[in-house]
Structure 1
Amino acid sequence: MASRTPRLLLKPGAARLAGLALALLLLPGCSSLFFYPDRVTYITPDRLNLAYDDIYLNTADGERLHGWWLPAESPESPARGTVYFLHGNAQNISSHILNVAWLPEEGYNVFTIDYRGYGKSTGDPDIEGALHDVETGLRWLGAKPEVADKPVYILGQSLGGGLGIALASEWTQRQEQPRLDGVILDGTFSGFRKIAREKLDAFWLTWPFQIPLSWTIPDDYEGVEHIPKISPVPVMVIHSVRDGIIPFHHGETLYEAAQEPREFLQTDTPHGATFVIPEYRKAVLEFMADNGDR
């Protein structure tokens, strides 16, 4: 595999150090705190009566990523915009597709990828690699003619939101293209180190080591430090008071750290189930419509 170009916000070797530390405790490694991939195909978009294309992308460090492009179904031509969907930490895109399957009917293209190690994507997942992957996907999106001159939004759920914050802040600071018109974070943690410490605290075997082990994750990963840098791109933070995976206070913390323009949507569904409720879909559509003509 080709050597990996150092990432913008990440310190080379940090993930290896974290993996070593947890391995000493007979745990499966630092990445296991964040990544639970599988290669099962649960459903494909055609089963939902959606048109789609399989997309394969090569990363700079030699991995091959798989994704889906779902064109808008609206009679409007061109589409109202494009949503770049970054899924959560379990399974793969085929188990998360229902979260965005409603968007093509509303006139939005959807593009989503599997991070390395997920689904049909090659490699093994880690934080730095996943950040390479989401950046690779956004660059592909920017070169697609159907996306030109129309709004582009990042929608990140849970882990995908953590990756989306890092991507969007750097993208905005560099004034990269395509320009982002909004970032939507659903059930996202306020930082990799913060949530790792909380999860280690909840397990008796790792409780005594929660602080030293969390220190093996660089604080460069903390979304709360980077979400202010997304401004002036509008940010919408969505979090449920019933979220049993990422506690509600993470959403509050991210919203408080974000700069204007920003919105907060308090929900009451289980983790990852926001878009089962039509009212919450409507709120996201309104956010995109309000910010699509900036």
Structure 2
Amino acid sequence: MEKSWMLWNFVERWLIALASWSWALCRISLLPLIVTFHLYGGIILLLLIFISIAGILYKFQDVLLYFPEQPSSSRLYVPMPTGIPHENIFIRTKDGIRLNLILIRYTGDNSPYSPTIIYFHGNAGNIGHRLPNALLMLVNLKVNLLLVDYRGYGKSEGEASEEGLYLDSEAVLDYVMTRPDLDKTKIFLFGRSLGGAVAIHLASENSHRISAIMVENTFLSIPHMASTLFSFFPMRYLPLWCYKNKFLSYRKISQCRMPSLFISGLSDQLIPPVMMKQLYELSPSRTKRLAIFPDGTHNDTWQCQGYFTALEQFIKEVVKSHSPEEMAKNFIKCNNYIMFPFLIIALYFDLCRMIKNVPFRSVLCLYCLKSDIKL
């Protein structure tokens, strides 16, 4: 018992000594902290406030950008077309998210050869809210319409994010490629507002599969929009890593060399119309058009007079440029050139299967072969 008491007495003294030493160390450390805060407290406080605000903004950027529940019940009820044939489709993305699509087929003359428009909507509501616009496209443009609800919108699963929307767009394009009843050579992308950024990304990554792109009242990037909406705060000086969602369309448009139509409503109070003009100027496409509607607002430019005429003329121009006769006219101009004919014989025969009724001489010109080459 005596030995046990001595042991506990030793431990008690040791703990008291350790506590005294720790308290002394704390007092010594506290002094420079007090002096530092007295001298630089304002700067430190501002820095902490800035870091806190940046953290909150980064955390809630998705809330500020995506509005899948506006208007109310948008996640519960998706209107469907009435009186016309349509398909309510569900597909899976590469990361397993289930997406809801609506396919409206054009059933008029030459319907098997009708172009297909993949429709990417804005940051609120669901595909059902775009049906009035889509049905007018169907009637006026004589095209197939495939409307897409991003993840977290309508009946689609998951939560919206930039990378998620990109995966969604890839999954939709892959699905179109599996449909034997859709013309794979006439795939158009249409995107309004946020959908324009999604369309530009998809086109930049799939230029070989996209015939043309049409974007309406979209933006250069999220950082550009932040600088516009929060002009009282120096958002333009924030580095890109501060933004959870970037959507850098002004960079990606340089990879979109396919025919491009830029639709701008000059009465847009949300996205500055100058951004549409800048995207048009940044586009490297040889066939690019800028359609301007002075009375067009952010969501209702499609109701302006001449809107569908502009889209119709653009689509006809693109389809005509892809016709065998028009391609033959272009090929015939290059038949003075030759480039490794025996390395591309396989490509030549592939083209022969794709393009019928085109003169043998003209087909060779696609691959820069002289017309007198003997294969």
- Count of aligned residue pairs for this structure pair: 263
Q: Tell me, yes or no, if structure 1 residue 155 matches structure 2 residue 185.
A: no
Q: Tell me, yes or no, if structure 1 residue 44 matches structure 2 residue 70.
A: no
Partner of 1:269: 296
Deviation at 1:217, TM superposition (A): 2.6
| Residues 143-292 of structure 1: pairs in structure 2 closer than 5 A | 143-172=178-207, 175=208, 179-201=209-231, 207=233, 211-212=237-238, 215-217=241-243, 221-231=247-257, 233-259=258-284, 260-267=286-293, 268-292=295-319
Deviation at 1:21, TM superposition (A): 7.1
**Quick check: 2:264–2:292 contact (8 Å CA) kept in 1?**
yes
Deviation at 1:80, TM superposition (A): 2.0
Q: Tell me, yes or no, if structure 1 residue 87 matches structure 2 residue 121.
A: yes
Max radius of gyration: which structure?
A: 2
Q: Tell me, yes or no, if structure 1 residue 33 matches structure 2 residue 70.
A: no
Change (3 A) 1:21 1:52: farther
CA distance in 2, matches of 1:255, 1:33: 27
CA distance in 1, matches of 2:236, 2:283: 27
Structure 1 unmatched ranges of 5 or more? 1-19
Normalising by structure 1, report the TM-score: 0.82
Deviation at 1:145, TM superposition (A): 1.0
221-230 or 82-91, which moves further after superposition? 221-230
CA distance in 1, matches of 2:53, 2:151: 21
Normalising by structure 2, report the TM-score: 0.65
Partner of 1:98: 132
Change (3 A) 1:21 1:130: farther
When the two chains are superposed, the root-mean-square deviation of aligned CA atoms in Å is 2.3
CA distance in 1, matches of 2:218, 2:277: 10
Counterpart residue type for residue 210 of structure 2 = L
CA distance in 2, matches of 1:240, 1:127: 25
- Secondary structure of the 1:239 match is strand
Deviation at 1:42, TM superposition (A): 5.5
**Quick check: 1:22–1:28 contact (8 Å CA) kept in 2?**
no
Partner of 1:110: 145
Counterpart residue type for residue 191 of structure 1 = S
Counterpart residue type for residue 79 of structure 2 = I
Deviation at 1:152, TM superposition (A): 1.1
118-127 or 261-270, which moves further after superposition? 261-270
Structure 2 unmatched ranges of 5 or more? 1-50, 70-74, 323-375
CA distance in 1, matches of 2:111, 2:265: 35
CA distance in 2, matches of 1:234, 1:163: 17
CA distance in 2, matches of 1:118, 1:247: 26
**Quick check: 2:265–2:298 contact (8 Å CA) kept in 1?**
yes
Instruction: Name the one with the larger strand percent.
Output: 1
Identity percentage of aligned residues: 26
Deviation at 1:25, TM superposition (A): 3.6
CA distance in 2, matches of 1:77, 1:27: 47
Q: Deviations over 1:111-144 (max 9, x none)?
A: 0110000000001101110110011101101111
Counterpart residue type for residue 81 of structure 2 = P
CA distance in 1, matches of 2:120, 2:114: 20
Deviation at 1:276, TM superposition (A): 1.4
Deviation at 1:87, TM superposition (A): 0.5
Change (3 A) 1:76 1:209: closer
- Secondary structure of the 2:188 match is strand
- Secondary structure of the 1:110 match is strand
- Secondary structure of the 2:213 match is strand
159-168 or 71-80, which moves further after superposition? 71-80
Deviation at 1:195, TM superposition (A): 1.3
CA distance in 2, matches of 1:244, 1:127: 24
**Quick check: 2:262–2:280 contact (8 Å CA) kept in 1?**
yes
CA distance in 1, matches of 2:148, 2:245: 26
Deviation at 1:32, TM superposition (A): 2.5
Instruction: Name the one with the larger helix percent.
Output: 2
- Secondary structure of the 2:96 match is coil
